[in-house]
Chain A
């Protein structure tokens, strides 16, 4: 009976801490725009900068981040590829289950060798994909990619305006999340860590 007051106070503190912790725990919410109905990522088979043919279906079991760009891109593409390099550094060995795939929107200039040289300045493990205009047009259409050749005849060559969305394909080969290109690095890493931990 002597410590009656302490018991009440102690119980009170425990209840407050418990309620606080319950309110702090929230289910993880993906930072990107999630595609909730399972949609199989449109398949493609293109020439890879690694020298072989890259077939999307052969890479199931890995998380794939798709990005469309071109090697002559003056701004968005190098910045984004540098961000992917940072993503790799932050994920460490977990990056073994992730693949970065860069598909060209400028097949006239981006051949296999050009892509290989370009990507090696960022990371040798990144895949650069190119192909015939017909093959690529199908891929661009399937992924809703906008592409417009501009400034033809300029002294520095032409530029290609293109959409810059990032596509995340999950281990089952489904389109899972898309991100605007200016998504903070921490958000992308956070989502990847979550998805890598997820069993399915």
Chain B
């Protein structure tokens, strides 16, 4: 009896391995297509505010170009290096003169934020969902585990284990 159960367990193990490989290919393939081949890892987006920016804005002069809208992914970090002699603000990030401010983007959102180092004083930010390792692991399990159970059930119908035991009897 124990030997039979052990054979079921081994069959289940093999089913899980096969289905997890299948799950890996399906989930990673989906993520790859959804992300259009982009890298999964989070990035630091560094913005540097040069010395004299506040003065230039005050005098109506142009400042180094910063995109009007930037797309981020959850977990990305906005790093603002303030090389100016006054403090600057980018939405929730306030950076004293000569310092560095960092914000880790943790929620998905699309919004316009106040920005002191752009002449328009406004900047669009979109934070999209990112594919973390945990999400990828969950995707693997979500596909792999149910498939493993199904594969195991089909396999014991198509190749019954009891028959193996009977066939092995002298």
Chain A interface (Cβ < 8 Å from any Cβ of B): 2-6, 8-9, 12, 16, 19-20, 23-24, 29-37, 39, 143-144, 165, 175, 178-180
CA of A19 to CA of B133 in the docked complex: distance in angstroms?
A: 10
CB pair B92–A178 under 8 Å, yes or no, is: yes
CB pair A36–B9 under 8 Å, yes or no, is: no
Apart from A36-B101, A39-B99, what 20 extra A-B contacts exist at CB < 8 Å?
A2-B3, A2-B6, A3-B6, A5-B5, A5-B10, A6-B5, A9-B9, A12-B13, A12-B16, A23-B134, A23-B137, A33-B101, A34-B103, A35-B99, A37-B100, A144-B86, A144-B89, A165-B94, A175-B96, A180-B92
CA of A34 to CA of B89 in the docked complex: distance in angstroms?
A: 13
Listed by A's residue number, 12 A-B pairs whose Cβ atoms lie within 8 Å are A4-B10, A5-B12, A8-B13, A9-B9, A29-B106, A30-B104, A31-B106, A34-B101, A35-B96, A36-B79, A143-B87, A144-B96
Q: Which residue of A lies closest to B8 (CB)?
A: A5
CB pair B6–A144 under 8 Å, yes or no, is: no
CB pair B92–A35 under 8 Å, yes or no, is: no
Out of B9, B16, B101, B133, which one reaches A35, CB within 8 Å? B101
Report B136 CB to chain A, min CB distance, Å: 8
Place the interface of chain B in its size category: 35 or more
Most chain A CB atoms below 10 A, which of B91, B92, B99, B141? B92
CA of A143 to CA of B95 in the docked complex: distance in angstroms?
A: 10
Which residues of chain B come closer than 8 Å to A29, judged between CB atoms?
A: 104, 106
Q: Which secondary structure dominates chain A's binding surface? A: mixed
Most chain A CB atoms below 10 A, which of B89, B94, B101, B133? B94
Report B59 CB to chain A, min CB distance, Å: 20
Please tell me if B102 contacts chain A, counting CB pairs below 8 Å. yes
Please tell me if B2 contacts chain A, counting CB pairs below 8 Å. yes
Q: Which residue of A lies closest to B105 (CB)?
A: A29
Q: Which residue of B lies closest to A3 (CB)?
A: B6
Interface string of B75-119 (1 = CB under 8 A from A): 000010000001101011111101111111010000000000000
Which residues of chain B come closer than 8 Å to A31, judged between CB atoms?
A: 106
Q: Which residue of A lies closest to B3 (CB)?
A: A2
- A33 and B16 in contact, given A5-B7, A8-B10, A23-B134 (Cβ under 8 angstroms): no
**Contact residues, B1-32 vs A (CB, 8 A):** 2-3, 5-13, 16-17
CA of A9 to CA of B12 in the docked complex: distance in angstroms?
A: 8
Q: Which residue of B lies closest to A187 (CB)?
A: B106
- A32 and B96 in contact, given A2-B6, A8-B13, A24-B134 (Cβ under 8 angstroms): no
Which residues of chain A come closer than 8 Å to B93, judged between CB atoms?
A: 33, 178
Which residues of chain A come closer than 8 Å to B87, judged between CB atoms?
A: 143-144
Q: Which residue of B lies closest to A20 (CB)?
A: B137
Which residues of chain A come closer than 8 Å to B141, judged between CB atoms?
A: 16
Q: Which residue of A lies closest to B17 (CB)?
A: A12
CB pair A35–B100 under 8 Å, yes or no, is: yes
CA of A36 to CA of B6 in the docked complex: distance in angstroms?
A: 56
